[in-house]
Structure 1
């Protein structure tokens, strides 16, 4: 175990040192031409975050204290004008009272959407756990209008700002706010750019077991003030047909997605499940931002409860982005000063009246440092969708490099 820890620390320290060296080498002096930029064949960046959290059901009762130290490293290597390689690593050190829960349920460490297992718990104790994941590892070849990417990557087919029924390869949970890059998947993706506003692509994700394969194609084009996309293929054991749009209604942003999932075995249209979302957003001249969205899950239940639908397990898919049939999202944000931004978002389950609220304030300390404070607050009756969870107060420091 000690050897594993030493290896992780040595690798992390070496890469951070390389960032400093790379920054210093970005320019070189030429006596005849002055300072010129040196061509870089590789770029290394990332961040280091410390997230403190307090959980409680009643602020006057027991508090659960936890801490997460989160380091990310992204290496981009540009071999030449045609080839590039991307490797991304997440190193997370958990310590506190919730560590036993992470040991009991590994889904809390992240959804497993990968053909290859590149995640490992390096070392753990009674009150701490060090976990490392390679969530990006891809080779990209681009020539002319063609682009081919193979390996662990993010295939982003979503256009809605909250819920993405078109994101059939790597759907993500809105509650996992600290995972900014969002999950990827092991796949091969071929893209062909017809012109500046239209493209076609084909993607394939192999499955470890029968019924876990995804094969689909997508076509994007522009019509008037709207970007439109159409997709079709196979997701697990379902025939998938869908589409999405993004544009404006006057000065208001308008976007949405819809995808149908029909079982291929004993094919019946009556068994089709529909997942659809739509959203609008508007920014006032004084920087006030308003955003609303709606999600339909035709297979969702009207009386879900938090005991049967664990929202924190990150086990969402494009077919089931929420356990409830209807979901409403509202958000308001405001730039108080150039360095301070506030955001208040919420999700409502209209079937039982329970709701989730997420207030955050971000302080920009320097160009590379920020402080965020806020919470994830759940309200409702104990047998409602959002009623059975603890409230979480958060404080996060982030340094980007």
Structure 2
């Protein structure tokens, strides 16, 4: 059945305002074009196969218009995306969404729209950046849809409580924008103090809800050769204190972060992430490398089915603050410059709880200063019931939710 969703009046008005602003010669407009094709395959005992999507062929195209400008201390930024998806992944995503409760809205305003959709086609648009900022020598304030990154993690980002990337994310160029009010004060010694308020609704179309919102203070502190950070936040009804520290170590760089939560139910889980990274040469090629350990205080033991996950964990999985249900992980990876234009990036994530593994490879070929060709592949390995072999949907069901194997090719061009 064909479905149409009208673009909201607010979205349309803001979009037109951005287009009108593009007429100014002082504004800076860039365009990014993405083209891609994907193949996914899953085991016969997975939910993918149960829904009839054990093998999936898909293609996609997208264009992102990026406009920024302003006058003096006042600046604005607008990013508008139009995406086209065709193939099996459209139907699979729709079928999978129908089996789980809808996640809470990530932002106060719904600036997304499905222009057209049928069984295997979807055309959608969204406003991913829409902000106005004022900057002085020591002070920054910004309001609207924007992106913010905190935390010391390289792969796992437990300290990044506002729309973090997934550990297995291939594309990390643009973090999803979120509606927020942001302020920063810069001290003369290089330290700073940041404050952010992220208003949200409990359900789509509902009223503003304090218990679904985030209010946070964050400060970067210089401690000699070390970089420290502290964050105190009230996040979706819970409280968290994060402490971070990092610095040089024999030509490499280390970082560590501990997060102590106090949940509304009285429990107090702890998260911890530590990593080390460096650069060098191997066989005459420039390389970078990293190793990271992550402890998930919200995690559960292997073989825990999805319908037995505690509320504190399932909530964070649905909001995108966490992406794995296990407790202890190690990530290893790096990059090697095979030629000045070709970068090869292998990575692996290992669950220390059940020895399951998620492996990924990416090759990026820079065709020019403004164009890239990207090849990527990934797959999970492990026994049924493990983190990357797949967790059972419910005890005794024999159906598992596991990361499907994936292979893709993509082309990116900036104008």
**Fold agreement, TM-score > 0.5:** yes
3-state secondary structure, aligned to 2:368: coil
What's the CA shift for 1:288?
A: 2.0
Q: Which residue does the alignment assign to 1:102?
A: 93
Q: Which residue does the alignment assign to 1:137?
A: 130
Residues of 2 paired with 1:109 and 1:92: CA distance?
22
- 1:153-168 pair list within 5 angstroms: 153-168=146-161
Contact 2:324 2:387 in 1 (8 A): no
Alpha-carbon spacing, 1:316–1:277, altered in 2? closer, same or farther (3 Å): farther
What's the CA shift for 1:57?
A: 3.3
Q: Which residue does the alignment assign to 2:367?
A: 365
What's the CA shift for 1:180?
A: 2.2
Alpha-carbon spacing, 1:189–1:299, altered in 2? closer, same or farther (3 Å): same
What's the CA shift for 1:315?
A: 3.7
What's the CA shift for 1:327?
A: 1.1
Alpha-carbon spacing, 1:131–1:116, altered in 2? closer, same or farther (3 Å): same
Alpha-carbon spacing, 1:248–1:99, altered in 2? closer, same or farther (3 Å): same
What's the CA shift for 1:129?
A: 0.3
3-state secondary structure, aligned to 1:284: strand
Deviations 1:203-262 (A, max 9, x none): 111121341121111111211222211111211111211122332112111113222110
Alpha-carbon spacing, 1:182–1:239, altered in 2? closer, same or farther (3 Å): same
Residues of 1 paired with 2:254 and 2:104: CA distance?
30
What's the CA shift for 1:275?
A: 1.6
3-state secondary structure, aligned to 1:99: helix
Contact 1:135 1:184 in 2 (8 A): yes
Contact 2:226 2:246 in 1 (8 A): yes
3-state secondary structure, aligned to 2:333: strand
Matched, 1:198 2:191: yes
Q: Which residue does the alignment assign to 2:235?
A: 235
Q: Which residue does the alignment assign to 2:379?
A: 377
Q: Which residue does the alignment assign to 2:358?
A: 356
Q: Which residue does the alignment assign to 2:254?
A: 254
3-state secondary structure, aligned to 2:109: coil
What's the CA shift for 1:62?
A: 6.7
Residues of 2 paired with 1:305 and 1:74: CA distance?
44
- 1:256-335 pair list within 5 angstroms: 256-263=256-263, 265=264, 268=266, 271-285=267-281, 286-304=285-303, 315=318, 317-318=320-321, 320-335=322-337
Contact 1:51 1:397 in 2 (8 A): yes
Residues of 2 paired with 1:247 and 1:108: CA distance?
42
Specify which of 383, 395, 399 is matched with residue 409 of structure 2.
Answer: 395
What's the CA shift for 1:82?
A: 0.9
Contact 2:342 2:366 in 1 (8 A): yes
3-state secondary structure, aligned to 2:272: strand
3-state secondary structure, aligned to 1:100: helix
Deviations 1:359-397 (A, max 9, x none): 111111111111111212111122221113321111111
Residues of 2 paired with 1:391 and 1:197: CA distance?
45
Q: How many residues align?
A: 368
Q: Which moved more, 1:280-289 or 1:345-354?
A: 280-289
Q: Which residue does the alignment assign to 1:25?
A: none
Deviations 1:153-211 (A, max 9, x none): 11221232212222122222123323521122211111111125211111111121341
Question: Which sections of structure 2, spanning at least 5 residues, go unmatched?
Answer: 45-52, 203-208, 390-401
3-state secondary structure, aligned to 1:98: helix
What's the CA shift for 1:307?
A: 5.8
What's the CA shift for 1:110?
A: 10
3-state secondary structure, aligned to 2:222: strand
Alpha-carbon spacing, 1:57–1:208, altered in 2? closer, same or farther (3 Å): closer
Residues of 2 paired with 1:57 and 1:149: CA distance?
44
Residues of 2 paired with 1:173 and 1:389: CA distance?
13
Alpha-carbon spacing, 1:373–1:64, altered in 2? closer, same or farther (3 Å): same
What's the CA shift for 1:58?
A: 6.8
Residues of 2 paired with 1:208 and 1:109: CA distance?
13
Contact 1:354 1:384 in 2 (8 A): yes
Q: Which residue does the alignment assign to 1:28?
A: none
Q: Which residue does the alignment assign to 1:44?
A: 29
3-state secondary structure, aligned to 2:94: helix
Question: Which sections of structure 1, spanning at least 5 residues, go unmatched?
Answer: 23-39
Normalising by structure 2, report the TM-score: 0.80
Residues of 1 paired with 2:163 and 2:87: CA distance?
30
Specify which of 107, 123, 126 is matched with residue 119 of structure 2.
Answer: 126
What's the CA shift for 1:103?
A: 2.9
Contact 1:304 1:324 in 2 (8 A): no
Matched, 1:184 2:187: no
